[in-house]
Amino acid sequence: MNNLLYKELRLVIHPFYYLTSLFAALILIPYWVYFVALMYFLFIAIPNIFTNAKAQNDTGFSVLLPVKKSDVVKARVTSMAALEILQMAVAAIFVAISVAISPKGNVLIDANLAYLGCGLLLYGLFNLFFFPMYYKTGHKIGIPLMVGLTVFTIIGGIIEVLVVTVPAVAKVLDGNTPSALVSQIPVLAAGIALFAGLTWLAYRMAAKNFEAVDL
């Protein structure tokens, strides 16, 4: 498993895609939809990584190795989850900068701890829909990516609408004052737990689907 993960990080993922995390700098744009900053990873890195891997027949090569098919899936899911965590870590840096330079916040959800928690939830939901669908074939990415992006967009949109229209939700998720940030720690913790749980479930479902694929 460790060797497969090393292969993913060194051979499958081009170093350029580590830099997509810098799109988190878009969080510094005033009065913007901050969830879009997290979607660039899904727009750019995911389709290109999987398409390049397909072109190199990476999956076909991997299953010929003396490893379990479930480990092939685990290595890919783990490497993509690591990139998502990197994206959120960089986003956290720009959230801190935004809090320092824009104390008035945003029209929609503010750049704050709750935003980071919600972002982790959205990535977890993307993983839950994308990976099991992708590993029904192991090579077709179009529909799984479209479904994953749709889920991310819809749930993200619902969160934004609730923040604007429902005061009780805004009280929990909005605000970037010191007291608001402290009260958002449980939201961030819940986001971390949900990301981990949904990604693990995505791996389990994807591995089960891939076992039935005849390559």
Is 70 exceeded by the pLDDT of residue 102?
Answer: yes
Residue-wise pLDDT tens digits, 32-78: 899 999 999 999 999 999 999 888 888 888 888 788 899 999 999 99
C-beta separation of 163 from 176 below 8 A: no
From residue 144, alpha-carbon distances to 1, 128, 148, 184, 195 in Å are 25, 10, 6, 32, 19
Position 215 confidence tier, pLDDT thresholds 50, 70, 90: low
Please state the rounded mean pLDDT for residues 107-124. 94
| Per-residue tokens: 103 | 């104390």
**Residue 189 scores a pLDDT above 90:** yes
The per-residue pLDDT for range 127-136, each reduced to its tens digit, is 999 999 999 9
Annotated domain spans of the chain: 2-211
What pLDDT does residue 1 have? 72
pLDDT (0 to 100) of residue 105: 76
Structure tokens at 113: 């701890």
pTM (predicted TM-score): 0.95
In whole angstroms, how far apart are CA 126 and each of 67, 90, 163?
27, 19, 21
